[in-house]
């Protein structure tokens, strides 16, 4: 689709590739209409990833790198803003309650168009990094996927209440490293209650769920979130945006052709997208209430598909 609200570059993300400018140039070449820049927020020293530690990075290094990202994003918007709608934002890493303070400081320091609310850790342990860390988090939860899923959606709920993100990233990311990433969440009654609770809250404050195609390149059958979650959000009059969660130029718009039939199967007839004109800047604890929309039928006619 001609929109992506979630991207990373190798210039500012250690597990991505390509420069930020290369990412933008590729989005333009693929006739994207909106491309959001959402590099990860800085994290505490205790939460550095192995590749960051091996590279000698520190907490201050991550802060400086994010500052450099923001400056480069502003520069590139000046260069390419007439060719594509570039949104400058960031992706949260909700790890513990003190993450709220770090997010608030970022929102006070910079003028953002939007931000993506995400959870990548449970019990402060990464749950999407590799099988070993997923197992460690699962052990902390009592040794089963079911218990870890419950803890994940509880952490997500805390993130949602604390930050009310305009966009909610890969809602069901927790299934990535689980024993069966494609199974229904409804088989776990306690987990499903927490899923519905979180969807109720997102719908109440007006947040938007991203339909994230990254799960497809990772071998799963459905985007994030699964169809059953999308349908439950539709019942709450929830809104959806599109994302590729790209980490290299090769991943920009990747598998969007598989997302179209997914949208139809889920009953999603309208896609929403942000723009600077509608989103403007997002201040602390505020979600953007003004968005644009496009029917999925009109979506099929746009130049991106050529």
Out of 3-17, 80-94, 282-296, which region has the weakest mean confidence (pLDDT)? Answer: 282-296
Average pLDDT over residues 187-200: 98
Domains and CATH numbers, the chain: 3-305 (3.20.20.140)
Per-residue pLDDT tens digits for 212-225: 999 999 999 999 99
Mean pLDDT computed over every residue of the chain? 93
Average pLDDT over residues 200-209: 97
Amino acid 54: pLDDT: 86
* Residue-by-residue DSSP string for the chain: --EES-B--TTT-TT--S-HHHHHHHHHHTT-SEEEEEEEPP--GGG--HHHHHTT--HHHHHHHHHHHHHHHHHHHHHHTTTSEEEEEEE----STTHHHHHHHHHHHS--S--EE---EETTEESSS-HHHHHHHHHHTTSSHHHHHHHHHHHHHHHHHHH--SEE--TTGGGTTSS-TTS-GGGSHHHHHHHHHHHHHHHHHT-EEEEETHHHHTT-SSPBSPHHHHHHHHHTT-EEEEE--BSSGGGTTTTHHHHHHHHHHHT--EEEE--HHHH----TT------EEEEHHHHTTSGGG-
Per-residue pLDDT tens digits for 119-171: 999 999 999 999 999 999 999 999 999 999 999 999 999 999 999 999 999 99
pTM: 0.94
- Assess whether pLDDT exceeds 50 at residue 285: no
Average pLDDT over residues 193-222: 97
């Amino acid at each position: 689709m001609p929109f992506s609200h979630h991207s990373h570059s190798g210039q500012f993300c250690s597990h991505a590739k390509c420069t930020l400018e290369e990412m933008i140039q590729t989005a333009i070449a693929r006739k994207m209409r909106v491309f959001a820049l959402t590099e990860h927020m800085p994290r505490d020293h205790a939460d550095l990833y192995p590749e960051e530690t091996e590279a000698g990075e520190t907490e201050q290094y991550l802060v400086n790198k994010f500052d450099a990202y923001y400056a480069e994003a502003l520069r590139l918007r000046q260069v390419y803003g007439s060719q594509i709608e570039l949104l400058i934002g960031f992706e949260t890493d909700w790890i513990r309650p003190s993450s709220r303070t770090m997010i608030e400081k970022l929102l006070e320091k910079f003028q953002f168009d939007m931000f993506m609310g995400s959870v990548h850790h449970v019990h402060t342990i990464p749950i999407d990094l590799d099988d070993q860390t997923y197992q460690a988090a699962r052990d902390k939860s009592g040794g089963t996927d079911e218990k870890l899923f419950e803890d994940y959606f509880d952490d997500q709920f805390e993130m949602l209440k604390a930050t009310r993100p305009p966009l909610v990233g890969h809602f069901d990311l927790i299934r990535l490293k689980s024993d069966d990433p494609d199974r229904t969440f409804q088989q776990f009654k306690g987990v499903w209650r927490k899923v519905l609770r979180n969807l109720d809250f997102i719908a109440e404050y007006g947040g938007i769920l991203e339909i994230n195609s990254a799960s497809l390149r990772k071998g799963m059958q459905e985007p994030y979130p699964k169809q059953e979650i999308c349908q439950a959000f539709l019942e709450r009059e929830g809104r959806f945006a599109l994302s590729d969660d790209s980490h290299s130029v090769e991943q920009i718009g990747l598998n969007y052709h598989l997302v179209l039939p997914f949208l139809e199967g889920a009953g999603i007839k309208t896609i929403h997208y942000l723009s600077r004109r509608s989103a403007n800047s997002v201040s602390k604890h505020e979600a953007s209430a003004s968005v644009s929309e496009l029917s999925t039928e009109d979506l099929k006619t746009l130049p991106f598909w050529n």
